[in-house]
Amino acid sequence: MNFGKIKEITSAHYMPVFTRDNLCIERGEGNCLYDTNGHKYVDFVAGIATNILGYGHPEYTQAVCDQVKTLMHVSNHYYTAVQADYIAALCEASGFDRVFLCNSGAEANECAIKLARRYFAKTNSNKSVILTAEGAFHGRTLATLTATGNKKQHELYSPLPRGFSSFKYNDFDDFKCKLTDEVGAVLIETIQGEQGVRPFCNDFLVNAYALCKSKGVLFIVDEVQTGMGRTGKLFSFEHYGIKPDVITLAKAIAGGIPMGACLASEEVGTAFSLGDHGSTFGGNALACAAAKKVLEILQNGLLQSSAETGEYLGDKLAHLSKYDFITDIRGIGLMRGIQLSDKIPAQSFEGKLKERGYLVNVAGNNTLRFVPPLTVTKAEIDGLVQALDEICAATCVL
Ligand SMILES: *Cc1c(COP(=O)(O)O)cnc(C)c1O
């Protein structure tokens, strides 16, 4: 099927919600993707911060293929060794005691929200409100959309579920003020990925956490994008010396196979009773085998090496601050963003990088986001930054 036909069918039959790039991907190899015209692209999108092992990683591919042949899915009516293996490894690595497995980030957050509601219902307390940050992104189900700070989306789907409130990004006074007695849990990203890799400052997170602890409010960190080594540590909360009550994972957790997870302490995680929550596909054998291998590979050196490449990417991008129209360079590890002045649409840079063989995407406020596979090489980073430098040098600001 040629590209023209593919586009025609997609636009005729897929629900018209996605703005797609004019690119049809055929296959991946290493940290690169190839389109149907045989062009090669170094991938700094990675399926939206998902394919942390790149494409065709030998050990990972082997583990997935083996599991496909053995058993893919039986539902949670039954026990499987592969699920038990994985949750033991995940609890050990994270320091949490209880896991619920699902299929996406939105579902993981939905689980966390439901868990918080059950936790406070059990103590007969009135704390049903979930407090989230303006500009946050937590997913697209009705509850997680309500937790997401996007007014336009809220208007599209009213009436929204009740029991959510929000505070101003990085504003501790506003946070204190909004942390009323009805608030049972704070749901927060350490770095707002979809908002253009916008980090909370260290003091804000540390103080917000301490205040939640002192008031008996659950602190839930959405690690869907920042987790699994993306920021140079297994989980981003480790950078701040805090220990959330609950975290949520998805995106990279199974290296590109759909999976989500909600992790909690023993006390919070057992607020659910039999039948309180569930999932048909969640924690299936295929996803667990993939996720187990991802975790193993991270622990066997990738976490450490990718932390170094993440520093390297940060140092290289910092050189671009010489251009006035680059207004901010943000992020940690292999989660970075550069914001451009409003005069230069970031989309134009995205297109020019694509012509030079680099895929990036635009997130938030005119920001180019870089979230490559954690296996990205320094040479690939050099290539990207050189291409960016050339594009910047050729850019004249009117
Ligand atoms: C992507 C993302 C989600 C939603 O994940 P889905 O798998 O698309 O449902 C939630 N939170 C954060 C921080 C994300 O980056």
Q: Which atom of ligand 1 is nearest to the CA of 226?
A: 13
Q: pLDDT digit string (tens) for 240-251?
A: 999 999 999 999
Report the phi/psi class of residue 114: left, alpha or beta, with left for phi > 0 and alpha for psi in -120 to 50. alpha
Q: Looking at the predicted structure, is the pLDDT value of residue 123 above 90?
A: no
Q: pLDDT digit string (tens) for 199-219?
A: 999 999 999 999 999 999 999
The tokens describing 202, both together, are 């260290």
Q: pLDDT digit string (tens) for 46-68?
A: 999 999 999 999 999 999 999 99
- Residue 334 near residue 375 (C-beta atoms within 8 A): no
How many Å lie between the centroid of ligand 1 and the Cα of residue 232?
A: 19
Q: Which atom of ligand 1 is nearest to the CA of 222?
A: 13
Cα-Cα end-to-end distance for the chain: 43
More confident: 1 or 15: 15
How large is the average pLDDT for residues 288-293?
98
Q: Which atom of ligand 1 is nearest to the CA of 260?
A: 7
Phi/psi of residue 302, nearest 5 degrees: -65, -35
Q: Pocket of ligand 1, candidates 48, 138, 221, 231: which has the most ligand atoms within 8 Å of its Cβ, to mutate?
A: 138
**pLDDT number for residue 124:** 79
Pocket (CB within 6 angstroms of ligand 1):
104-106, 109, 137-139, 189, 193-194, 222, 224-225, 250-251
Average pLDDT, the chain: 97
Q: How far is CA 196 from the centre of its chain?
A: 12
pTM of the model: 0.98
Does the N-terminal peptide bond of residue 161 adopt cis geometry, omega within 30 degrees of 0? no
Beta bridge partners of residue 133, listed in sequence order: 167
**Residue with CA at minimum distance from ligand 1 atom 8:** 105
Phi/psi of residue 328, nearest 5 degrees: -160, 145
How many Å lie between the centroid of ligand 1 and the Cα of residue 248?
A: 10
Return the minimum-mean-pLDDT range out of 114-128, 130-144, 261-275, 379-393. Answer: 114-128
Q: Looking at the predicted structure, is the pLDDT value of residue 397 above 80?
A: no
**Residue with CA at minimum distance from ligand 1 atom 6:** 105
Residue 170 CB neighbour total at 10 angstroms = 18
pLDDT band at 356, cuts 50/70/90? very high
Among residues 335, 350, 340, 344, the alpha carbon closest in space to that of 320 is found at 340
- Strands 367-370 and 335-340, by their bridges, are antiparallel
**pLDDT number for residue 398:** 62
Q: Looking at the predicted structure, is the pLDDT value of residue 126 above 70?
A: yes
How many Å lie between the centroid of ligand 1 and the Cα of residue 64?
A: 23
Q: Looking at the predicted structure, is the pLDDT value of residue 327 above 80?
A: yes
Phi/psi of residue 86, nearest 5 degrees: -70, -45
pLDDT band at 254, cuts 50/70/90? very high
